[in-house]
Structure 1
Amino acid sequence: MSKVVVASFVLCLLLLHQLASVEADDQMDRTAEAKSDVSEQKIDCKAACAARCRLASRQNLCHRACGTCCARCNCVPPGTSGNRDVCRCYATMTTHGGRLKCP
């Protein structure tokens, strides 16, 4: 009789462990989905770059560079210049020549 009780106890522990594992996996899936929903929300680069480049002397160049930076970083700093600390990726992107790429 004691072997049956021990075997039942071991089976119960294995079942509880399996259930806890499934619950943890579900929690991780929900967390990953929530993070991906936030990261998948793309900003309107055309509108953001129009606001950023509205005072630029070379509109086409500004829009092209800003659009590239926005597409890669999904961020455009507010205002027409400066505020680069808001978008770290945008602020650190450089050209092949080492100059800042994003207006």
Structure 2
Amino acid sequence: MKLIVIQFFIISLLLTTSLTEISSADSSACGGKCNVRCSKNDRKHEECIKDCNICCGKCNCVPSGTYGNKDECPCYRDIKNSKGGPKCP
């Protein structure tokens, strides 16, 4: 019985550690890509970064470059704002 409890604890610990590493890697990847994407954007920089991070979080990708290339990430391209225009920079 003790062996089963110990095994369960070890497996739970390993799974928790792996999931934490994956989620933190994803958010930092979005931030770096969004900083590049918004570096030459006409909109307010903070607003651009916020929208880009929302889109990246939903789609798990950000098109390369500072403008265009949205066909690289159709999910990112297709997200619309409340007025029906593109949400993602």
Q: Give TM-score, length-normalised by structure 2.
A: 0.63
Q: Where does structure 1 lack aligned partners over 5 or more consecutive residues?
A: 1-13, 54-58
Matched residue of 1:50: which SS? coil
Q: How many pairs are equivalent?
A: 82
Deviations 1:14-59 (A, max 9, x none): 11111111111111122122212312313263432125x4xxxxx2
Look at both structures and tell me which one has the larger radius of gyration over its CA atoms: 1
Q: TM-score, normalised by structure 1?
A: 0.57
Structure 2 residue 43 is the aligned partner of structure 1 residue 60? yes
Runs of 4 or more consecutive aligned structure 1 residues displaced over 4 Å after TM superposition? none
> Are 2:79 and 2:87, in contact at CA under 8 Å, matched by a contact in 1?
yes
Q: Describe the shift of the 1:40–1:76 C-alpha distance in structure 2 as closer, same or farther (beyond 3 A).
A: closer
CA RMSD for the aligned pairs? Answer: 2.8
Identity of aligned residues (%): 21
Shift of 1:65: 6.0
Q: Structure with the greater relative contact order (CA < 8 A, sep ≥ 6): 1 or 2?
A: 2
In 1, Cα distance between equivalents of 2:12 and 2:77:
37
1:28 to 15, 23, 28: 15
